[in-house]
Amino acid sequence: MGVIQGLTEFLPISSTAHLVLAPTLFGFAEPPHEFDVALHIGTLVALLIYFRADWIRLLHGGLRLLSTRRVDGDLDRRMALMVVLGCIPAGIAGLLFDKKVEEYTQLEKHPISYLIIGVALIGFGLLMGWVDRNSRKNRSIKNMSPGEATFIGAMQALALVPGVSRSGSTITGGLLIGLNREAAARFSFLLSGPIIALAAAWDGVKLLRHAVPDADSISAAAFLLGILASAVVGWFCIHFLLEFLRKRSLWVFVFYRTVLGIFLIVLYTHNH
């Protein structure tokens, strides 16, 4: 599960879809929700380590922005503002729809989730491929406007739907405004850090307030191994995707999403 989380959190193929499908497809019991939170902490660690220099600049820029309340020509202050604006839509959508979306990640209770995930994988994958082929791809993050950052944040909010993919939606949003592939992926990763941290903290608070009946079903060693696996694999996936997108398109991921989506739709149709 840690390897699956590390692979799918940053590649544009939907980590939620893979994590909810893995227990069913590989025949093991679904882990408790707190284990899912732990896996996301692992990928957050990967983000913090890989982009450590960026986070330090963003932190300093954010503090200067708060003290001066002006961006001026400071790139770090500008980027801190862009990241904050990009996180707001997903944060609001998460608060409003988190409970409803969480229901459709429970495949045994809601079998129609197979169909929803399959359609989302195919539909958004084809959109991602079309945008990748037809967008300008000639801009960097430096000249992005506040409105464009908010637009990419709104695209990130779509990732609440299982099968859409957070990285896929934000990279697509970046391409739509003309960013090159690498710049779109880099801004996608910078946006995902605060969102993953906030989501993990929110879920952690809920777990502390409500006892989890099967909380003892996974050992501390398994938790640590899951976190370590998701962090290590996640770091390599970040590096791989940034290098990959410098020279190649997103179509290999479109193909994968389409094949997996068709499989899930056929599975749903066969079972019903």
Query: What percent of the chain clears pLDDT 70, i.e. is strictly above it?
Result: 96
Give the type of residue at 118.
G
Q: Could you state, in order of their start, the residue ranges of all structural domains in the chain?
A: 2-271
DSSP 250: S
Over residues 5-45, the pLDDT tens digits come to 999 999 999 998 899 889 888 888 888 878 888 899 999 99
**Span 84-110, mean pLDDT?**
85
The CA distance from 264 to 113, in Å, is 9
Over residues 176-232, the pLDDT tens digits come to 999 999 999 999 999 999 999 988 888 777 767 665 545 456 788 999 999 999 999
Q: Which residues pair with 179 in a beta bridge?
A: 139
Q: What is the pLDDT of residue 143?
A: 84
Q: What is the pLDDT of residue 190?
A: 95
Burial class (CB in 10 A: 0-12, 13-18, 19+), 79: buried
Distance of CA 11 to the CA centre of its chain: 8
Of residues 253, 212, 224, 221, the one with CA closest to residue 34: 212
- The per-residue DSSP string of 101-166 comes to HHHTT-TTT-THHHHHHHHHHHHHHHHHHHHHHHS---B-GGG--HHHHHHHHHHHHGGGSTTS-H
What's the chain's Rg over C-alpha atoms? 18
Q: What is the pLDDT of residue 64?
A: 94
Q: What is the pLDDT of residue 94?
A: 86
Over residues 98-138, the pLDDT tens digits come to 777 877 777 777 888 899 999 999 999 999 999 999 999 99
Q: What is the pLDDT of residue 158?
A: 93
Q: Which residues pair with 161 in a beta bridge?
A: none
Reported pTM: 0.92
